[in-house]
Amino acid sequence: MTKPVNGFSKLTKTEKIEWLAKNYLHDNSEAIPILKQYWNDDEKLQKLHDEFIENTVSNFYLPLGLAPNFLINGKYYVLPMAIEESSVVAAASKAAKFWSERGGFKATVINQKKIGQVHFLFRGDYPKLENLFKDIEPKLREAVKPITRNMEKRGGGILNIELIDKTEDLENYYQLFVKFDTRDSMGANFINSCLEKFAEVLQEEASNAETFNKEEKDLQIIMSILSNYVPECIVRAEVSCPVAELSEDSNMTGEQFAEKFIQAVRIAEIEPYRAVTHNKGVMNGIDAVVLATGNDFRAVEAGIHAYASKDGQYSSLTHAKVENGIFKFWLEIPLALGTVGGLTSLHPLVKLALDILQKPSAKDLMQITAVAGLAQNFAALRSLTTTGIQQGHMKMHLMNILNQNQATDKEKEDMVEYFTHHTITHSSVIEQLEKMRA
């Protein structure tokens, strides 16, 4: 039976791996070489990666692919995408090519406001608290001047500070609700530093307020933290073309395709079980670009899925219609992204990914990322409503199955040829591979 370990963080990387192998892994002979084979030969680069997080033992690789031919606001882009799922990059590329021949994608940043909150308890008269807030708001702003100075030089900073009464939802609960513009930075550290200073000033001013009684002076800060729900940091991406131009398949006219496609979107708008899978397809494109550019995909996911529920039921992020003979497909999503700070200046591949995107501003990256989500969703819906999702997916999955079974290059070549004319399933691939080897 294994035992708890003390001082694990003080062990060297090799000692951590040896401890892991001894206490938790059944086959030590394979485990240690597997972990070590992903170390980078460049010691300086490996040290950089080791210091991104704690207790590092190896590097976990994801493929970095390229999706070309994205025409966005009249400019061509190649999108770097970091993802492990088969067919995502191929589907995005196919959608990009399709729409590049029909005017391309249009994208607009509607707003860039980000949110932070100081959550606190106040047991007393609300009018007194309200008066205190009005009196000290200039002090709050002055207290964070050393933090906001550089951001303000770039045109950002604190936009608004509000006192919010939440006592109907939770006894004695109030907030300072703060809106920020963080320019090209995602801004988490900036926002959290400002909020913690606000909390410090608020608590101090309450304790010294002459109009407060003893209980009111005991204002209790619960926490100070940014929100990853950013419904005022919105980007819109869209495509449109005459309905007749949608036809690429002789078995379906543009009108038939548009009608079926729009019904598929409407199902996702009203049916949560479908909407979750539908939106997962959107996030295939978004997450891949977010990861490649060193942004926080967990924050993006949480914020976008919350936005999908903003009307009281989880629903589709994308929408479609035909108006005056024009097919329109679009999405509006919250995206808080950055192109400076964090990993953007540290991780070599992140820096390269931003170079590939022609050194975008945060607004540019919001637009590019939203377009990736729209393109991915279009590709998925087009497959679902025409050939079915598995045909393209299983072609890509074929190579994974072959690699799992150590197929040689010649075997791969012969299997790809064979399954050009046969249905791909996991069992059929194994059966055919065994026949070839026999």
Catalytic positions are 85, 280, 296, 393
Q: How far apart are CA 259 and CA 338, in angstroms?
A: 38
Q: How far apart are CA 315 and CA 266, in angstroms?
A: 10
Detail the DSSP E strand segments found in 287-350: 318-323, 326-334
Q: How far apart are CA 19 and CA 13, in angstroms?
A: 10
Q: Which two tokens stand for residue 378?
A: 């279009």
Strand 220-227 with 114-121, pairing: antiparallel
Q: How far apart are CA 224 and CA 161, in angstroms?
A: 14
Q: 260, 114, 298, 247: which is closest to 190 by C-alpha?
A: 114
Q: Which two tokens stand for residue 35?
A: 């972990």
Q: 320, 330, 309, 308: which is closest to 263 by C-alpha?
A: 320
Q: How far apart are CA 38 and CA 15, in angstroms?
A: 17
Q: How far apart are CA 279 and CA 389, in angstroms?
A: 15
Q: Which two tokens stand for residue 74?
A: 């009249």
List, in sequence order, every residue forming a beta bridge with 234; answer none if it has no partner. 334
Sequence-separated (6 or more) residues with CB below 8 Å from residue 395 = 87, 419, 424
Q: 192, 20, 10, 232: which is closest to 110 by C-alpha?
A: 232
Residue with the two structure tokens 């001047």? 145
- Report CA torsion sign: 343, 347, 353, 356: positive
CB 149 within 8 A of CB 206: no
Q: How far apart are CA 263 and CA 326, in angstroms?
A: 16
